[in-house]
A and B are shown apart, each in its own frame.
Chain A
Amino acid sequence: MERQYWIRSKPVYTSLLWHEKATAHLVIAEGDGGMAVLKLLQQKYPTQQVNGFFVKSPNALKNYADIISSLAPAEFKVFGNTTEALNSLKITLADCCMGTCFYVAGSEGFIWQVAKVLASVGVQDDDIDKELCGTLARTVYCVHCKAITHDAHHSVVACSGCQRQLFIRDHFSRRLGAYMGLMVDAEQPGILPSIEEVYP
C-alpha cells in the first residue's frame, strides 16, 4: 500500500514505559499485550503502588498470565474475558486518585474498550499510554447502517449489519473506537478492488 499522506486521526501506538512522576500506576493488558507487560517489568520498577489487570486470550502466543503472575511484584488480577475485567476496572477506578498513570496493551479493539471506560471517569486519551500487540485487526463502523464489525483483517470487509462491502479508511473515531467503513462499490455496484490482508 502506497501512502502519499497519512490521516492524522489514525492512532499512533508506542511502547509502554513507566512514568516516574505518578501517584500510582494502573496496567491493563490482554492476550499478547502480556509481552508489553513483561517489557514493563524489565524496567526499573516504580516506587508507587501498581495495580494490574490481565485478560487471557486463546489467540495469544504464550500463556502470559502465568509468567506475569510469577514475575510481577504486585498482584495482577487475571480474567477469562474482557467484560469481567472492565467491570472490575470500574470498581478500582472509583478509588484511584489524581496522578494515576494508565498503561494499556493488547489488540486495538481492546485498547479502545479500556479507553472508553477510562474516559467515563474523565481520563483523557492523551493521558493513556497504549501499546498495540499481537494483531493489527481493526474495528469498523459502517457509516451507512451504523453497525460495528470486529476483527477485520482485510482492506475490504463485509458489514456485519447491512452486508455491504466496506473499504476501511484510516480515519479513526476515538468515541466509537472504530475506523470509518464506506461502501467500496457504491459508484459501480459489484465492482470490487483487489482485497488484501493488510491487518493480520
Chain B
Amino acid sequence: MNQTFKKETFRDDYTFSNSPEAVKRFPFPFHEDEYMYSVNIEPHVKTAVGSITEFTFDIDEHYVAECEDKAITLANDPQRYLCLPHMMDAQWDTLELMMESMSNDYPEQFNLTKEGDNWTWVNKPLGITTKFVFGDESSLPMEPLEYIGRQVQGDWVMLDQRDNNLFADGAIVTSQADWSLAIDVGMSWQEWHGPVPIANEIGVFDRALKYLLNLQLGSPVRRLNWTMTINPRLDTSPENYPIWGPDRLSVTPENVGDKVHLRVELQTLFRLPRSNGMLFGVRGYLISMNELVTNPLWAKRLHRVLKGLHPELAEYKGLSYKDITIDWLSKYDDGTSSE
C-alpha cells in the first residue's frame, strides 16, 4: 500500500480535511432514518479492500497528523495516560496485538522482528525504531500501552475482567467525546456508562456486558457510535471544555458546512491472551457537513435522523446547534427515499 499522509491540524487553524477517497470510505453510521441506542455489536472481521475495516487497525491519510496531535495533548496533560498497577500483563498484550497486526497488514510502513524476547519495532511514518525486550518495562522509554498507544490512531482502554464485570483500569485517551479518564479510570462497566441517558433504562448496557464477558480470544467485535463536534477537533475532553465549549455557540447558518462535523467512532473489543483482560478501541472519524453532503443519501438521512432525535440524546451529546444544522441540511432533503 502506498499511503501518503496529510499535513494538517486538529486545533488552532484546523486545517484538517478529508480527501474524496476518505469521504468515500467514511463509516456513515445510520442504516435507517431514525436512531436509538441498540446492542449493535458484530464480529470485527476484515471487509472490502479500501474500507475502514479492511484491516484490524485502520491506518489512514490522517495517521501522522493525528499522532502529532496526540503528542501535543499528552504533553499538555500527561494524565491522559493512566494505568492501574495490576494491568501490566494487559499492556504487553496490547503492544503485541498492535505491533503484530500493523506489521502484518502494512508491511511497507511497519516492521516487527523478534529474536526470542528481543524485539525490534520500526515505524516508518513516524520515524521510530526501538529495540526492546518484550516483558521488560525498563527496556521501553515509557509504559507499553503509552508507547504503542501514541502510535495508533484513536483512544485505547484496557478492561480488567473480574466479579462478572469489566473495569476500565488503564487507558490512553486523547480524542474523546467528552469523558474524563481521570474520573473514569478504575470504574466498573455500570459506573462509567452511568451518565448515558436512556440506554441504561432500556437494558442496552446489561445485555452488552453479558455478551462481552464471553468474548473469545481471536474473535474481536465492533460497533459504531456517533456524536457531533464543532471544528475538526480531536481533543473534546472535559479537561479542555473551557477551550472548545464556546465553539458550540459560534455556529451560524453561513458556517454550518465548515464548522459542524459528524464524528463517528469505530469501537472495537479484543480479548487479551495473558491477562484475560480486554482492549477497547475508540477510533474516531470526522467529516464536515460540506463533505458529508457530497453523498446525497447521507445528507437526506442525517437530516431525518437529527430531526427525529430523542431530546435527551441531543442534550447528552451537547447538540445545542442541532436546529441550525437541520435547517442547513433540509435543502438536501427532497423527501424521497434515502435507501
A contact residues vs B (CB 8 Å cutoff) = 4-5, 7-10, 126, 141, 143-144, 146, 164, 169-176, 180, 182-183, 186-189
Contact = CB atoms under 8 A, between A and B. Distances in A.
Q: Which of B183, B185, B249, B320 is most buried by chain A, counting CB atoms within 10 A of its CB?
A: B183
Given A164-B242, A183-B241, A187-B248, A8 B184 contact: no
Interface in B234-250: 238-242, 245-246, 248-249
B180 A143 contact: yes
Contacts of B195: 7, 9, 169, 171
Given A5-B200, A186-B245, A188-B249, A180 B191 contact: no
B193 interface: yes
A62 to B, nearest CB: 35
Contact of B246 (A172, A173, A186): A186
Contacts of A10: 194
B198 interface: yes
B198 to A, nearest CB: 7
Interface in B189-228: 190-195, 197-198, 200-201
A183 B194 contact: no
Interface string B302-319: 000000000010000000
Contacts of A176: 182-183
Dominant secondary structure of chain A at its interface with chain B: loop
Given A143-B180, A146-B79, A175-B185, A186 B241 contact: yes
What is the interface residue range for chain B against chain A? 20 to 34
A21 to B, nearest CB: 19
Interface of B: 79, 163, 180, 182-187, 190-195, 197-198, 200-201, 238-242, 245-246, 248-249, 312, 320
Contact of A173 (B183, B193, B238, B249): B183
Contact of A143 (B186, B193, B197, B239): B239
